[in-house]
Structure 1
Amino acid sequence: MGKLSEAEKKEKKRIAERRRRERIKNDPILYERHKQRDRERYAKRKAEGKVKKMSERTRREQKALRKYFREHSKKSYEKKKQKNKVLEEKPISLPFDSGALNDHDPLSTSQTLGMKSPINIISVTEPQSPINTFADSSVPVSPATSESSSKEESAGLMKSSTKLPVDIKEAVVKFYEDDENSRMCPGKRDYRVRNKIRKQKRYATESLRDLHKKFQAQHPEIKISYSLFCRLRPFWVIIPNVLARETCSCQTHENFNFVVSALYKHKIISESSPNQILEKNCCDPRYVSCLTRVCLECNNKRVTYLEFDNSAEIDYKAWEKQKKAYFKNGEGRITLQTIKANVLGTTL
């Protein structure tokens, strides 16, 4: 017999460990002693502070541990479900005495080795047609099996009926890739790869909420929810953050966004964003003549205000620069910080 390889050694050790665990579980005394050692080991680790309670862990550790618990419970549930499914299958009647299998029974061999995965028994019979073998009238059919099969069939019908058409997916992807809704990055390394598909990065020009409203206006025949619209967003279309921003995000423009949001919140104007104000008061927000009020067609348009109380106070947020004193190396210093402050004012 030649020298065993590393893989064969590991497999042999794994089988021996299975047999040892099976022998311990079958012996009540050894199994109780094994559990007692586990309890003592856990108490010792807990006394040393190596085992933490859930309340003593950080939020990140709690999140990771709960995720592990969910995945473990899901695997355990799937394993039990597969085991019950095997047990509920139709039994095949053997034409000879089952006691003649003895030590050659593959099921008993698997139990001896402590294998967890079920092994199907292949009956040695005379050649028969597959229809007569499995559709025997003498084989009883359990009601649980028929009920589970009907549930699977109904679930399959429901799954196939709720499948999203391909043309809707293509329309959403094409909408996201439009230059009006997203801009392509010019860099050579600005790309993303998923499932061996390489695509150049694109940054959305508006928020997903505004893009959804725009999609509904352009495609009124397609009824799609906001959550589904977000899920169908291609992986190469990215929501820009502060670091990836190449457009203006200065204090003046951000404060204007806060003012518009506050006026819309108090029902003074009907537009909820600066983009809506531009679309309503300009022929085309991309034209400089419209933005500078030089255009002869839209220079007389103004923001329409609703009825409101001039004496009522309005609260809104604004970016402000404030001086802050601090100490460094025993010396007092002053720094200028930009913070988001709550402002209270009136419409006058």
Structure 2
Amino acid sequence: MPMSNKERQQKWRQKQKENGTYEQVRKKFRESRKKKRSSLSNRELKVVREKERLRQQKYRAKKVEQPIVGTKSPLMSAQTLGKAVQRVSANLPKSPRKRSRVVKALSKKFGTCHHEETSKNGSGGYNKLSDKSVETITNYYCRDDISWQSPNRKDSISIKNGDEKNHTQKRFMLITLKECYALFEKEYPGITVSLSAFCSLRPQHVFLLQDVPHNLCLCRYHENVRLLLECLNKSLSQNIETHFYDFLETIVCDQENEDCMLSKCDVCKDKFDEMYTIAEDESMQHVKWAQWETVEGRATKVMKSGTLLNCLKALKSKLPDFLIHTFVKRKQSAHFEAEKSRANGEHVVLQVDFAENYTAIQQNEIQSAYWSHNQVTLFTACAHLDNKKVKSYVIVSDDLVHGKYAVSTFLDHLIKDIKSVCPTVKSIAFFSDGAASQFKQRFLFDNITHYKELYNIDATWNFFATSHGKGAVDGIGGNVKRQVWMASKAGAIVTDAMSFADVASKRAKAIQIIYVPAREVADAKSMLEARWQDVTAVPNTQGTHMVQALGKHVVRTSMYSTRGIYHEHNLKDDVNLQASSSSNSTSSCPEEEHHPIHIGDFVLLKYTAKNKSFKYVAQVTDIHSHENGKTYDVTHLRKNDEEGMIFAEKDLTDKLGVVDRTLTNHESVAGCIHG
């Protein structure tokens, strides 16, 4: 009887293996197939992938339909097995712990318990990882740039640890598991772990991105780009990455390079146009996509429609802001982790935020009480005193404004308590979101310049990127609200801020509860108004993510905390900036970064006085370099004709004249005119 094709193939493979040429033949076949696939167009490649998907689907369906042959079980049908399992299950103990012990004992008795041994000694388990590596992975999931802690009082999970049960606030991942795994591999190249093992080590209280509750406000920058990427991925024949990290890899040289992410790199600033093009027959295809926009003061998801080319152009228009936002987000998150590791008793890291107001609802209240519930302000804080010691705070108040006066008053209480428990503190690095009505404003910038005089503390304020300020403070607020809510359901009377603070201090003993009445905030208002009188605004406040106090009313700012390029600002006109200069300051000339200034160049100087700015043309006569940066000797010029085309040296007796002087680092060069 002649051999079948299958038998002939098996005989040929066996012969090749005996001759030692089988692997060479397989390698040659793989290279040939790879070469063939690389020559395919995007459309042909998409067809091949679809055929392969259908082939696998057909094979799996056929495999499912095949009857199970050679089973050792005496129960020949699934129905009989199911009935037997049901009878046994009905007689098992109701307690999950006892039921588990009985099942394990039965498995051990009848010699069928192989799973536990395989998981411990098998080659595919994650048990080969050291305890330190496992701890590193689990801690990585709990980082604030990987997952965020829910502030909602109901978002908690009961985790069993031995015989004890602990309620832990839920965390929700900001990215997918595959993106998280890719970032982990890049950050920890020394730890070798498979994707499946990495995913299995995700802590119980860390939930997937798909489990995020419906009422979450996600980042507008990321969501709008994601919606566009999904639309293009469905409609384009060309494959386009929908994961942010993978997508950015295709359009920039280096995601850690500032020039690349700020679209200043000559190599990759036009890479998007090179990587993503639309064929002429596809460009006019009609598609729909969604975008988050502000409509009548409300964030609304708006449906858009247009051609595929319009969708691609919309994505391109959002890339510059998205790249900057992503870069700053990563830099600030990394700086926050680095600062926490630096906490040593002398340097303290303090993260602050307002939690959502607590509504004082009573158990078994009457119907009319629904319309007269009191609100309670909760100002949460998490202080990292050293590498191991962390202290949580909640300031409770009946002041509901959430403004600059409340923030300043609350911060005074926090700093005083930190100094009492950690008297060695010399500097505090503050972290918060960038809410303009609460933190990112000139009055709070000026406020931290007084901490040196008041508390002998050097202060730096760091802002997270927009919509990325989630952290431990959210969990602290949610935990306290849950504890008070449960006490209220048990009969505790919580009607206002004072009663809330009383119940919270008894129930949440691990958190420092501080009650600050509204009258205390009101009493501090007049003092703060006098302190902040004539405080000037800082240019590009919204683009600033680091503010450091240099002296009274003097700060320096930067785009992100570790940039190394700073701009110093006098928040009041009567301050001697030269006396407040920092030894680490650099030139504040923005044009100097891109266009070096030389002797003989003409520059445009900007002076600020009493909330007004004035510009003067001057010529650089000398340049002095020193450890603090550079200073420039300039000669101011005046217009010598009506058209403003000819300038001469300004008369020193001129009423509005500015005498010749040395331009310090603290004065702004508004523009450089090279002549």
Same fold (TM over 0.5): no
TM (norm. structure 1) is 0.40
TM (norm. structure 2) is 0.23
